[in-house]
């Protein structure tokens, strides 16, 4: 490539050695560094450093307003014997597994439905995205009102239909609350899964379906043996993101239940926030959020190495 | 017509094989149900916003699904009796500032990774993608400390500078893909004509497409939406938080 010195036409200059200054201005590596500088500065100062600091904090007894001393793995030992922490791990796993599976199933189904020729196709597709676009906190408040113990429209409708006699206490009972927040999470995540998978469905070569039809394949066989295998790369991407962000979800829970009732909906993220920021035990809270990292690494490594390594990971177009 | 070949056959070619009743059951009914569930919360919030108070609380005397006497009382209260306009203004400012910052940083970074191809550019590209996978909720505890350390606590910069940590990896990743689609030859010609890298970036690469507008809009949206979230993190940090303190922070 033309990365050597180029003269502006018209400026006459005698040939001279490339000075250090010239090299700073045009050498590929130096130039690359200048261009990277703003992004790197922000990412190092506000991403890499805090990430390291979080891990370090988890080994100290830091409180808010007081830098802590190194205490080894005492925070983790304390968490090991803490039943609330284990409850939050259970909740997080339940929340992630159930929500991800249903999000995938419903999202895939919705994507297949949207792939049909429909009247007002474009409008329907953009309308479907609304739950994903709207701020999580806002939709959480909408659900909080839908789940209200007295004025819930769901309870009211079911009572009118004669299914139940008393209002359902959506967010007051441990298991009700768990399923309620899981439903809200699914509601929010389905559009993302559906639209991304729809993008994948649109690139399917039609000749395969024609061939399958001639061979007498049923709709289910076409889906199972053509659509699904061709869709796996995109499914891998979508589900990695979905699992990752469900696992570390904070906003939805915090806006709806704050981890209650009796810690039944505390996820690891909300518990760490409560311990670190509200109670002031930064070290302990940091230990909880650091404990999430192994789970996240497992999910990332699975997509990075386990599933096919794809060009999209380096920012190239999908293949 | 090669373009037509890319359209799915299910939608274009074979749908005539389906009878209307069949489509009704297998397509319109499930689709309608899912759409209803997805959209009902919004309808319900909008309805709640314009219902008079007595109708909100008395579900038995009034049909809760509709109101014949909409009121703007709640909205008026929000606009004129709370600090809502100020919050809106703060949201806009922080979103704009962090978006502009992110766009500048990620355009430069993406260009360098894709086109300057300095030593290790591929690794940096991979690292950027990994950075996007780091969820904000494991960052907020250390960030609360970091914001104090940098002396940014209780200033808008606490937010303006932390948002780009989410936005930059995403937009850099998006832009890398976009820059790869611009032909190398354009740049080579410009270099031969004596253009500097900066001129190439601003006059050729960015002018070659309309990706800028799309990305800017997307990022702005992203920032506005996440704003509420991070504000909760960063401003609930005050340990001596009383009612007045919270109010002051909310006003910020």
B8 and A254 within 8 Å at the Cβ level: the answer is no
Entry pTM? 0.80
Contact between A136 and A255 under an 8 Å Cβ cutoff? The reply is: yes
H helix count then E strand count, chain B: 15, 0
Is the pLDDT at B222 greater than 90? The verdict is no
Chain A nearest C-alpha distance from B209 (Å): 16
- B20 to chain A, closest Cα gap in Å: 12
Whole-number pLDDT of residue A186: 94
Token couple for B203: 């006059």
pLDDT higher at A133 or A270: A270
- Across the interface, of B11, B64, B161, the residue whose CB is closest to A153 is B64
- Averaged pLDDT, B130-148: 85
pLDDT at residue B107 is higher than 80? yes
Instruction: Please give the Cα distance from A164 to B38 (Å, whole number).
Output: 24
Give the residue carrying structure tokens 């007894």: A61
Residue with more model confidence, A185 or A116: A185
* Interchain contact, A300 vs B122, CB within 8 Å: no
- Give CA A313 to chain center in angstroms: 16
What is the pLDDT confidence band of residue B237, given thresholds at 50, 70 and 90?
very low
Nearest CA distance, B165 vs chain A (angstrom): 6
Is the predicted pLDDT of residue A249 greater than 70, yes or no?
Answer: yes
Tokens encoding A28? 């590929």
* Residue pairs between chains A and B whose CB atoms are closer than 8 Å: 278
Q: How far is CA A218 from CA A214, A311, B31, in A?
A: 10, 33, 21
Say how far apart CA A174 and CA A169 lie, in whole Å: 10
A-chain residue closest to B126, CA distance = A314
Ranked by mean pLDDT, which of A171-185, B81-95, B208-222 comes out on top?
A171-185
Among A35, A285, A286, the residue with its CB nearest the CB of B108 is A35
Which own/partner pairs from B77-83 qualify as long-range (CB within 8 Å, at least 24 positions apart)?
B83/B250, B83/B251
Specify the pLDDT at position B4. 44
In the predicted structure, residue B94 carries a pLDDT above the cut 60: yes
Highest mean pLDDT: which range of A230-234, A291-295, B63-67, B115-119:
A291-295
B193 SS3 class: coil
Instruction: For residue B109, give the nearest of A36, A106, A290 by CB distance.
Output: A36
Rounded-to-integer distance, Cα A34 and Cα A36, Å:
5
As a whole number of angstroms, the distance between CA B231 and CA B237 comes to 10
Share of chain B above pLDDT 70, in %: 75
- Shortest CA distance from B35: residue in chain A: A128
Q: Is residue B122 predicted with pLDDT exceeding 90?
A: no
CB-CB contact of A244 with B136 (8 Å): no
Contact B142 A286 (CB under 8 A): yes
Q: How far apart are CA A19 and CA A22, in angstroms?
A: 5
Contacts of A264 (CB under 8 A, 6+ apart): A87, A91, A174, A175, A177, A178
Q: How far apart are CA A109 and CA A104, in angstroms?
A: 8
Give A266's contacts (C-beta < 8 A, 6+ positions apart): A84, A87, A88, A91, A253, A259, A274
Q: What DSSP element (H or E) covers B41?
A: helix B29-50
Whether B216 has a pLDDT exceeding 80, the answer reads no
pLDDT class for A90, splitting at 50, 70, 90? very high
CB of A95 closer than 8 Å to CB of A257 = no
- ipTM of the complex in this document: 0.78
CA Rg value for chain B:
25
| pLDDT recorded at residue B187 | 82
pLDDT band at A8 (very low <50, low <70, confident <90, very high): low
């Amino acid at each position: 490539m033309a990365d050597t010195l180029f003269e502006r036409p018209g400026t006459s200059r005698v040939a001279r050695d490339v000075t250090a200054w010239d090299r700073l201005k045009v050498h590929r590596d130096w130039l690359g560094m200048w261009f990277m500088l703003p992004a790197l500065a922000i990412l190092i100062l506000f991403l890499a450093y805090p990430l390291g600091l979080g891990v370090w904090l988890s080994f100290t007894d830091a409180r808010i307003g007081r830098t802590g001393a190194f205490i080894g793995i005492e925070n983790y030992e304390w968490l090991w014997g803490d039943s609330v922490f284990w409850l939050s791990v259970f909740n997080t796993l339940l929340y992630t597994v159930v929500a991800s599976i249903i999000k995938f199933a419903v999202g895939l189904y919705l994507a297949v439905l949207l792939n049909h020729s429909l009247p007002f196709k474009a409008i329907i597709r953009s309308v479907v995205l609304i739950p994903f676009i709207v701020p999580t906190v806002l939709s959480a408040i909408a659900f909080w009102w839908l789940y209200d113990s007295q004025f819930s429209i769901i309870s009211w409708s079911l009572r009118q239909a004669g299914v139940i006699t008393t209002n359902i206490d959506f967010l007051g009972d441990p298991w009700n609350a768990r399923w309620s927040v899981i439903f809200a999470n699914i509601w929010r995540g389905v559009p993302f899964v559906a639209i991304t998978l729809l993008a994948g469905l649109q690139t399917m070569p039609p000749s395969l379906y024609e061939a399958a039809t001639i061979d007498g394949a049923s709709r289910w066989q076409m889906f199972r043996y053509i659509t699904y295998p061709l869709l796996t790369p995109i499914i891998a991407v979508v589900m990695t993101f979905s699992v990752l962000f469900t696992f570390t979800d904070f906003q939805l829970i915090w806006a709806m239940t704050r981890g209650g009732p009796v810690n039944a909906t505390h996820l690891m993220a909300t518990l760490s926030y409560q311990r670190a920021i509200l109670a002031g035990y930064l070290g302990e809270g940091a230990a909880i959020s650091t404990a999430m990292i192994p789970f996240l690494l497992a999910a990332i490594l699975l997509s990075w190495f386990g599933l096919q390594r794809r060009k999209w990971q380096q920012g190239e177009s999908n293949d | 017509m090669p373009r037509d070949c890319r359209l799915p056959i299910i939608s274009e070619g074979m749908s005539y094989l389906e009878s209307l009743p069949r489509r009704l059951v297998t397509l319109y009914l499930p689709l309608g149900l899912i759409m209803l569930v997805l959209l009902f919360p919004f309808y319900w919030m909008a309805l709640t916003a314009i219902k008079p108070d007595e109708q909100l609380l008395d579900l038995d005397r009034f049909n809760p699904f509709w109101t014949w006497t909409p009121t703007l009382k709640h909205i008026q209260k929000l606009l004129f009796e709370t600090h809502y306009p100020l919050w809106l203004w703060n949201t806009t400012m922080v979103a704009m500032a962090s978006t502009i910052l992110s766009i500048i940083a990620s355009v430069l970074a993406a260009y360098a990774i894709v086109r300057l191809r300095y030593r290790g550019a591929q690794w940096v590209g991979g690292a950027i993608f990994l950075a996007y996978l780091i969820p904000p909720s494991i960052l907020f505890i250390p960030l609360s400390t970091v914001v104090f350390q940098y002396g940014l606590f209780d200033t808008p910069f606490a937010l303006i500078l932390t948002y780009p940590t989410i936005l930059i990896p995403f937009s850099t990743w998006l832009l890398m893909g976009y820059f790869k689609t611009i032909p190398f030859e354009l740049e080579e010609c410009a270099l031969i004509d004596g253009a500097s890298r900066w001129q190439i970036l601003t006059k050729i690469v960015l002018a070659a497409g309309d990706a800028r507008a799309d990305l800017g809009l997307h990022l702005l949206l992203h920032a506005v939406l996440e704003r509420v979230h991070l504000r909760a993190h960063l401003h609930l940090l005050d340990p001596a938080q009383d009612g007045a303190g919270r109010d002051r922070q909310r006003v910020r």
